[in-house]
Each structure stands twice: as structure tokens, then as C-alpha cells.
């Protein structure tokens, strides 16, 4: 059964790597019966190589410029109602954050350090965590970025729980946001 929401704009998932943006975003899109778009996958398709390769070949600054172009294109591509999963640094980029806050409903999946470390260990798809102390790097990113992620429209605390439970919390938060906005 499809869930109904009264939105006419995209839902954008933001947060650190390992928070669940892609898995929760994909499940949310399924539940709502709307398309799902992963901005990192769109960047890889446009570049013809992986995010890790883009970082190593061109650097983070060029990756962020490409990310901004791709996210803008995703917003401009119909349908307007869709779920977009962004890379962990997208919302940190001021121009991307401004675009998301103006044109979408942003949902921050906030996770604690232990959960992020658990979910990101042993993966080779995270450029910032390759060949380094992931706990230290993730801790630094929490310090640097959580105050910026807090600008999102909705914050949902994620725990070491089932995808369904986290998804239920996200859907409830969106409905509460809609109701509060309607009641002004």
C-alpha cells in the first residue's frame, strides 16, 4: 500500500556516510510510490567513473562542482516529486544547501559515531575513509558538519535498528512537518 504525502517538491536525504541516506531514501520512494535518485550514481554515470576515481583523478573541489551541476539537473528533471539521496558532502556546499532548502524538503538522518563506524567499516566506496582511521575521520566530520546538517527541514535520529523502523520514523516526521506547515 502506497503512503500519501501532500508534497509537490522532492525529498532530499542528507547526512554523513553510513547514516542510511540511500537505503532509507530508496525505501521511502518505494513506500510513497515515487522515483528514487542517487546523486552519486548520477555523477558516476555522467563522469564515466566512480566517485573514488573522481576524487583521486580530479580532487574534491572538482567533484563538488560536478555534484552541484548534477543535483541542479536532478531538480530540473521531471517528475518534481521524488526522493533524492545525496552524498555526505553535498549539503555542506553552500550553493547546494541553498538549492535544497529552497526547492526541496530536506531530511537529515542523524547517526552517532559508533553506528557510522560500524556501517562504513570494510567498504572501499568512501574516498575520505580509504587507508585511514575511520573513527577519527568520522568524528571530525561530525564536529564540522552536524551544525550545518541541522539546517535541514527535518531531523530523524537513526539507531542500530531495522530499515523499516527508521523508515517509519521518517514517514512520521514528514507527516508531522506537513501538518505543522499546514496549520501554520
Give one DSSP letter per residue of the chain, joined into a string: -PPP---SS-EEEE-STTSSHHHHHHHHHHHHT--EEEHHHHHHHHHTS-HHHHHHHH-HHHHHHHHHHHHHHHHHSSPS--EEE--TTGGGSHHHHHHHHHHSEEEEEE--HHHHHHHHTT-S--GGGTTS-HHHHHHHHHHHHHHHHTTSSEEEE--SS-HHHHHHHHHHHHHHHHHHHHH-
Q: Would the pLDDT of 72 be above 70?
A: yes
Assign 127 a pLDDT band (cuts: 50, 70, 90).
Answer: very low
pLDDT band at 126 (very low <50, low <70, confident <90, very high): very low
Q: Look at residue 20 in the predicted model and tell me its pLDDT.
A: 93
How do the domains of the chain map onto residue ranges? 11-158
What's the Cα-to-Cα distance from 182 to each of 151, 154, 177, rounded to whole Å? 20, 15, 9
pLDDT higher than threshold 90 for residue 19: yes
Q: pLDDT-based confidence at 35, cuts 50/70/90? A: very high
What pLDDT is recorded for position 118? 86
CA 108 remoteness from chain centre = 7
Question: Grid coordinates representing 100?
Answer: 535544497
* pLDDT beyond 90 at 3: no
> pTM for the complete prediction?
0.91
CATH architecture assignment, domain 11-158 = 3-Layer(aba) Sandwich (3.40)
Amino acid at each position: 500500500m502506497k503512503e500519501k504525502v501532500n508534497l509537490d517538491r522532492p525529498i532530499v536525504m542528507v547526512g554523513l556516510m553510513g547514516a542510511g541516506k540511500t537505503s532509507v531514501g530508496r525505501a521511502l520512494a518505494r513506500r510513497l510510490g515515487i522515483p528514487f535518485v542517487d546523486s552519486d550514481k548520477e555523477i558516476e554515470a555522467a563522469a564515466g567513473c566512480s566517485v573514488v576515481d573522481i576524487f583521486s583523478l580530479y580532487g574534491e573541489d572538482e567533484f563538488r562542482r560536478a555534484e552541484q551541476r548534477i543535483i541542479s539537473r536532478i531538480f530540473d528533471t521531471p517528475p518534481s516529486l521524488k526522493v533524492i539521496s545525496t552524498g555526505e558532502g553535498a549539503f555542506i556546499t553552500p550553493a547546494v544547501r541553498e538549492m535544497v532548502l529552497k526547492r526541496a524538503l530536506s531530511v537529515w538522518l542523524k547517526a552517532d559515531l559508533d553506528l557510522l563506524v560500524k556501517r562504513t567499516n570494510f567498504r572501499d566506496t568512501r574516498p575520505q575513509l580509504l587507508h585511514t582511521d575511520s573513527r577519527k575521520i568520522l568524528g571530525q566530520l561530525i564536529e564540522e558538519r552536524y551544525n550545518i546538517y541541522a539546517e535541514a527541514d527535518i531531523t530523524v535520529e537513526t539507531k542500530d535498528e531495522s530499515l523499516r523502523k527508521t523508515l517509519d520514523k521518517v514517514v512520521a516526521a514528514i507527516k508531522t512537518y506537513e501538518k505543522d506547515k499546514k496549520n501554520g
